[in-house]
Chain A
């Protein structure tokens, strides 16, 4: 199935939870969906016979600009049917909340922890959401564009890099 067909099917099924289809400016055609509905949508994509998206290749957080919303990108592939889809959700910078897919794809467990660690995105329904790469008591979310490092970490000076 092409990404266009998958988008058409999704928007029929989920209505306004499926926001738009992006083909320009990306080499992986992307469907933008609602952040709270992402878990339902991937469950549908995984379980439906026609899609069989059984593998989540990648999950990445993204922050484009200090003015803009944060986003999370999901790259799915079906190992049976060999087709692809990329999903994207946007969430507010002040209170970033996205439904977790960690129970559906176990690989998302660590990937979501990483996005939480580096972007501070809260994945609701995640079984064990905590930092993964940084120390538990690290302050701030380093990959955010508005990140300002603390002056000290446990008494050690953090060098300013520009």
Chain B
């Protein structure tokens, strides 16, 4: 009897698919259940952010940055504001720096909550998602208190903040932090140690450090492979050098270093670290200070260019800005972390089953808004 050759089949996953976290199409070449090649097709959410930015004044770009990574709008605004401030050489009041760090870290927790919950959802665990959104609501309440918005804030402006936080904000943030540690213990009970979850995530889609660095993978996905790079630590921006926090790395506790479970667990650990940073920042927060005092009347960075990167919840968020001395950027490129993080999926997803590809995709935590821009 001759060898039975099954024909390869091309399977379209998406663009409309619940596990693609947005509008993403994966062209899978499959041999039975085994995936032999993955080609991501992106661009469905392309809104010409960079083209728009070339026709907008610098301060008008801020709301657009939030719309790119809509799960971490504070982080995107923070990175953009810092890049322009560095070009112009603006010194910020201490209170602004502390509040920005508080918001950036709250945003990191909120974003990781979605990542962790949605990953559970992808592999069939529905309850943790609801738990995660319960805490995320509390953070969004804090954001709403400060900025009036729950998703897209336009709160961090070039040179300061849109306005100071209202009375009671600090106390309410403390309240949230006090409750949060117990909540993380709950996620660990319900998902981290769950046997079914471990079976679905451990040893799946292992990413070696070399592959991760070569593909430009950054953020928790890179650190899960055991690479100790966190821009907050390696080249501290803002005032991150003043805080005491750990950088969690993947250790392969349930399988291999750099597997999907590690990528999940690094995010869980990072939430606790972010909570630590917020607590320190609240303790040290200066009472005095006008958050608008450093906002320039006219934003015209001197002629020149900059590449500035910061640590967003998803990884390295870079802004490449070229100024010709006018009030409109000549060129603005956003180096979005999820763009590079997604490109690795063919490398680590080959040879796995179709259902594993969904787990791997969930563990990468992508946001299509910033991939397509």
Contacts and interface: CB of A to CB of B under 8 A. Distances in A.
Interface in B33-83: 42-43, 46, 48, 50-51, 54-55
Contacts of B330: 64
A86 B307 contact: yes
A28 B324 CA distance: 16
Given A64-B330, A143-B51, A75 B320 contact: yes
Contacts of B307: 27-28, 57-58, 73, 75, 86
Given A57-B309, A82-B234, A133 B227 contact: no
Contacts of A54: 213-214
A38 interface: no
B339 A79 contact: no
Contacts of A73: 305, 307, 320
Contact of A27 (B86, B309, B333, B343): B86
A154 to B, nearest CB: 15
A58 B333 contact: yes
A27 B43 contact: no
B322 A58 contact: no
Per DSSP, are chain B's interface residues mostly helix, strand or loop, or mixed?
Answer: mixed
A111 B46 CA distance: 15
Interface stretch (A4-12, A13-21, A89-97, A101-109): A101-109
Contacts of A99: none
B42 A107 contact: no
B295 interface: no
A48 B55 CA distance: 42
A58 B214 contact: no
Interface string B306-327: 1111000000101010101000
A64 B335 CA distance: 19
A105 B214 CA distance: 5
Contacts of A75: 307, 318, 320
A28 B216 CA distance: 19
B339 A142 contact: no
Interface in A37-55: 54-55
A133 B46 contact: yes
Contact of B305 (A28, A63, A134): A28
Nearest to B87: A27
Given A25-B304, A132-B42, A133-B373, A55 B216 contact: yes
B372 interface: yes
B117 to A, nearest CB: 28
A2 interface: no
Nearest to A24: B304
Interface in A76-94: 79, 82, 86
A146 to B, nearest CB: 13
A79 B223 CA distance: 13
A151 to B, nearest CB: 18
A105 B216 contact: yes
Contacts of A142: 48, 51
Interface in A109-158: 109-111, 118, 131-135, 142-143
Interface of A: 24-28, 54-58, 60, 62-64, 73, 75, 79, 82, 86, 105-107, 109-111, 118, 131-135, 142-143, 161
14 contacts: A57-B309, A58-B320, A58-B333, A73-B305, A75-B307, A82-B234, A106-B214, A106-B216, A106-B347, A107-B216, A110-B339, A132-B43, A134-B46, A143-B50
Given A26-B304, A62-B331, 7 more contacts: A57-B309, A57-B316, A73-B320, A135-B43, A142-B48, A143-B51, A143-B54
Return the 10 tightest CB-CB contacts between A and B, nearest first.
A107-B216, A58-B335, A25-B304, A133-B43, A27-B306, A60-B333, A133-B46, A106-B215, A110-B343, A26-B305
